[in-house]
Amino acid sequence: MSMDGSPFIDKTHINGLYFNGGWCYGGFKATPASGYCYAHLLAKDEPHPVARDFKLDRFVKGKIIDEKGQGAQPNLH
């Protein structure tokens, strides 16, 4: 699980290695959309516009995704 409850759909620094994971509590419901975005990433080697914020380095850059109460602890959002 990621710290902000949002997934990672991104390529890694290793050539040809991609990652789709880090899903929190509702990930299974988003499987069709995540598969579509992941397929786009694999085919075009660039993120789908819907998934462009789900990058692996978002915590390093301070770009945490605020799910507005949808994460594990809504009282902290």
What is each CA distance from 44 to 9, 22, 39, 40, 47, in whole angstroms?
13, 22, 8, 6, 8
Residue 75 lies in a domain: no
Q: Does residue 47 sit within a domain? A: yes
**Structural domains of the chain, count:** 1
In a domain, 42, yes or no: yes
**Structural domain includes residue 3:** no
- Does residue 77 fall inside a structural domain? no
- State percent of the chain over pLDDT 90: 48
pLDDT score at 2: 83
Lowest mean pLDDT among 35-39, 47-51, 58-62, 71-75: 71-75
- 73 within some domain: no
- Asked if residue 74 belongs to a domain, the reply is no
Question: Does 71 fall in a domain?
Answer: no
Check pLDDT > 90 for residue 62.
no
Asked whether the beta carbons of 33 and 26 are under 8 A apart, the reply is: no
Quote the domain boundaries for residue 49.
8-66
What's the whole-model pTM score? Answer: 0.78
